[in-house]
Amino acid sequence: MLFDVDGTLLDALENQRRVWHAWAAHYRLDPAVVYQTALQTRPLDTFAAMMPGADADQCLRLLHQLEDEDALIGTYGAFPGAVELLAALPRQRWALVTSNYAHRVRLRFQRTGLRLPEVIVDASMPAYGKPHPAPYLLAAERLGVAPGGCLVIEDTASGVQAGVAAGMTVWAVNTPVPPPGCHRHYRSLQAAADDIRNHVA
């Protein structure tokens, strides 16, 4: 079981929007365009798309500062059913695959009562981010399972694309319509919870 985080387990999209809008304002970029780009990929790829040739380390330092502040004081929560679902899964059989960073994910999970797995693949690890399959392939490798034996739970088109490209089964949640390529679609995580538990049993 490989879970995306923001938008799938954590309802932090408004937090992401505020952080990216603040980041964009600092560089005098269009906040809406920056945010839509950031939703589809990891931060380093967003910097490259929005500010070619810019100092990526400097861009990342500002983003880290804004996101770390939000992780400490921002208001967000787990999607209904997330706490119970993760608590019921065997710890060694699931992982988080996120375009965020592990230290921030851990803090948010602690604040919202979500259980952490043994394996977290974050934005610093694979050479390529979603929609490239590398993050999901790395998670499968760290869990010691073949890609074809993995079920991915995602909420974005780029995440679905990454899971499918990795040769995995992908279920989409928390979206009104199915993202292209997903194998199954649920309007909410809670609606998918029983099927997810049954899949891993």
Which residues are catalytically annotated? 4, 6
Instruction: Enter the tokens of residue 103.
Output: 């230290």
Distance CA 161, CA 167 (A): 10
Q: Match 């809406």 to its residue by tokens.
A: 32
163 Cβ contact partners less than 8 Å away, ≥ 6 residues apart: 2, 133, 136, 150, 152, 154, 169, 170
In 3D space, the residue among 22, 59, 25, 66 whose CA is nearest the CA of residue 43 turns out to be: 59
Cβ atoms of 7 and 13 closer than 8 Å: yes
Produce one character per residue of 151-183: b if its CB has 16 or more CB atoms within 10 Å, e if not.
bbbbbbbbbbbbbbbbebbbbbbbbeebbeebe
Distance CA 147, CA 164 (A): 10
